[in-house]
Amino acid sequence: MRIIWGRANSSNVMKLLWFCAETGLPYERRDAGGAFGRTQEPAYKAMNPMSLVPVLEEPDGWALWESNSILRYLGATTAEGAGLYPAAPRRRAAIERWMDWQLAHLSQPMTTLFFTHVRIPEPERDWDAAEAARQKAASLWALLDHQLQATPFAEGEALTLADIALGPFIHRWFALPIERPDLPALRQWYEHLCERPGYATHIRIPMT
């Protein structure tokens, strides 16, 4: 059985769980990371020298880390994932552009915001850094809102890996107690994602 290593409250693990829910791909999830530890153990480090979650472990022992790389791999190698990752080069590149954008630009301010509000003990919270992150994230979400004025999903008429990579972060954006600019297309996209059972089960969960 294919194994997904990682705690279920990790945004990057959530992407894979949602992907499997959308596609029906069978898997077993094993807790690792955070309070579960395990990521510093030699056997885990052999799979992921970064000691982070998630890791995908295939039945033959082959392992892959970096959540967006895992999404690409599953989209390219499983019949179930093919619809989320069209093979036509320009379609595929346009989808991957949003995945890279998430990793290169969105991840940092959203992580600062999330950690400040949820994970960092209250006395240690840096609210100036959180405000700078909120402003940065708002400008990035506005850019996606512009795209969503033309298409219902991040990259076109149907759900793709682009939406899956962005999904955990847009939930946090709307769930955190922060000021948000009015971005109707972004809000509508999020509400559509919330209607999907896999999103509700794996992503729209209490933030911990």
Ligand X SMILES: N[C@@H](CCC(=O)N[C@@H](CS)C(=O)NCC(=O)O)C(=O)O
Indicate whether 102 belongs to the interface with ligand X (CB under 6 A). Answer: no
Q: C-beta of 160: minimal distance to ligand X in Å?
A: 17
Residues in 49-68 at the binding interface with ligand X, rule: CB under 6 A: 52-54, 66-68
Q: Does 152 bind ligand X (CB under 6 A)?
A: no
Considering only 4, 5, 11, 71, the residue that binds ligand X (CB under 6 A) is 11
Does the protein bind ligand X through residue 156 (CB under 6 A)? no
Asked whether position 33 contacts ligand X by CB under 6 A, the answer is: yes
Which span sits near ligand X by CB under 6 A: 48-56, 116-124, 156-164, 186-194? 48-56
Q: Is residue 99 close enough to count as binding ligand X by CB under 6 A?
A: no
Give the residue with the Cβ less far from ligand X, 52 or 129: 52
- Please state, as a whole number, how many other Cβ atoms lie within 10 Å of the Cβ of residue 103: 16
Tokens at 50, concatenated: 């970064």
Burial code of 128-142, b = ≥16 C-beta within 10 A, e = fewer? eebeebbebbbebbe
For residues 26 and 177, give the distance between their C-alpha atoms in angstroms, rounded to a whole number. 35
- Assess 48 for contact with ligand X (CB under 6 A): no
Minimum distance from residue 155 beta carbon to ligand X (Å): 19
Residue 57 exposure: Cα atoms within 13 Å on the Cβ side = 17
> CB-wise, 53 or 203, nearer to ligand X?
53
CB atoms within 10 A of CB 73: 17
Query: Distances from the Cα of 8 to the Cαs of 35, 178, 201, in angstroms?
Result: 12, 24, 11
Q: Can you tell me the distance from the alpha carbon of 9 to that of 62, in angstroms, rounded to the nearest whole number?
A: 24
Instruction: State the residues that interact with ligand X by CB under 6 A.
Output: 10-12, 33-34, 39, 52-54, 66-68, 103
